[in-house]
Amino acid sequence: MEEERSEKGARNGKDGKNRKSVRDGESGKSVKSGIRECRRRGKASLLFCLSLFLLFNLCACGNAGEKKAKKKTAKKKKEKKKKVKKRTVIGVTLYDSYDTFLTGYMRAFDKEVAEKRAEGYEVNVLQYNAAGSQAMQNEQVEEMLQNSCDVLCVNLVDRTAPSEIIDMAKKKDVPVIFFNRELVEEDLNQWNKLYYVGADAKQSGILQGELVLEDVKDAEKEGQLPPELDRNGDGKLQYLIFEGEAGHQDSIMRTDYVVSTIQDAGIPMERLDYSIANWSRAEAQSKMMQLYSEFQGKIELILSNNDDMALGVIDAYDKIGVQKDLRPWIYGIDGTKAGLAAIEKGSMRATVYNDEVGQSKALFRIAFQLASEGAEDGEGTEIEKITRLPYRKVTRKNYAEFRTEE
């Protein structure tokens, strides 16, 4: 009878404290069985019973703690996701949408936008063409701000005149990323929400000069300039240079450093003339026609600030009808699709690749980050104020490496 009452008490106990302390299912049954066994065996077994009881409690607490940790992690992820806006509006204004380099640049930018949309984000891009007018670009920026753009991407018409754009953006507290055409450093430092994405123009000039030197070295005979380059045999290079824009930093740096790189290697140079063709293929062709009528066979080397102008020079020689082996050596910068094709044909000796894909990726990444989470990347690292991607040399040996899919 005594044992029956004990068992009955144990069964009743499951509705009390013991039931609250153990998990459902098999673990609960094991504890109750252990208690019954303990009561039958006496005090010695009671210690075993208590140990068993505590063990199951610890397991239950451990599982509860694990669940709590998982919930906390899930909550953090949810909060982080909430920081990114579902709808992002990016405003873009180009100095000239017909610029060949910018055409490829924006094609790569659009791919980045499409990929982000495929991830479920609503990304809207308002794109404008300033058509070479700074006044028009200022109006476009005002309109983008009125349309509640989260961030502005500005390809300046006049790198020396960004103040109005900066003032408008500052009043609305909208960050601005200048790209491709670098503004003056003092202007970039006017506000902590101004950024720049591009490349180092000085490097492009140096690499273009090195390409000339490498071709000279490969073709020189007994330490003398190759006769197919130094056509008059005077031991120096008579050259023309085609510049992008008057006063534009890229034009100045590319021109100065390509010439100084060649001269510093000990090669005498004589500039016959220079022409400002505003990065334009058609304008370069027209001006080359005029220069050819003046200098004709005296021209031994032509250095162009970009591929488009170099291609305009080639167009002029094609129109005049000068055979390829009698033409000067022609060099460009940018590595555009048309420029690479000219290298393949042998019309252009070499070019310097300006990484349009890498720059467009950097531009979009920073723009999306600023529009959604602020001036930090996904890892909580502060976004660099200036992002520059390196230039690379392109010759007939490696031009195929730089071809990109449409």
Dihedral sign computed on CA atoms, order 270, 273, 275, 281 = negative
The answer to whether the CB of 208 falls within 8 A of the CB of 352 is yes
SS3 297: helix
**Rounded Cα–Cα distance for residues 377 and 354 (Å):** 25
Residue 40: band (very low, low, confident or very high) from pLDDT cuts 50, 70, 90: low
201 exposure class (CB count in 10 Å sphere: 0-12, 13-18, 19+):
buried
Backbone phi, psi, residue 394, to 5°: -130, 125
DSSP code at position 325: G
**Rounded Cα–Cα distance for residues 170 and 186 (Å):** 16
For residue 166, give the H/E element and its range. helix 163-172
pTM of the model: 0.77
User: In this model, does residue 149 exceed pLDDT 70?
Assistant: yes
Average pLDDT of every residue of the chain:
84
Mean pLDDT of 392-403: 95
User: In this model, does residue 167 exceed pLDDT 60?
Assistant: yes
89 exposure class (CB count in 10 Å sphere: 0-12, 13-18, 19+):
middle
Backbone phi, psi, residue 241, to 5°: -130, 135
**Rounded Cα–Cα distance for residues 52 and 41 (Å):** 15
**Rounded Cα–Cα distance for residues 150 and 87 (Å):** 10
Mean pLDDT of 370-396: 82
Q: How large a percentage of the chain has pLDDT more than 90? A: 71
Mean pLDDT of 243-264: 94
Domains 87-199+357-388 and 202-353 share a fold: yes
Q: Which pLDDT score, from 0 to 100, does residue 375 have?
A: 52
**Rounded Cα–Cα distance for residues 368 and 374 (Å):** 9
CATH number of 87-199+357-388: 3.40.50.2300
Q: Enumerate the domain spans of the chain.
A: 2-82, 87-199+357-388, 202-353
In CATH terms, is domain 202-353 a member of 3.40.50.2300?
A: yes
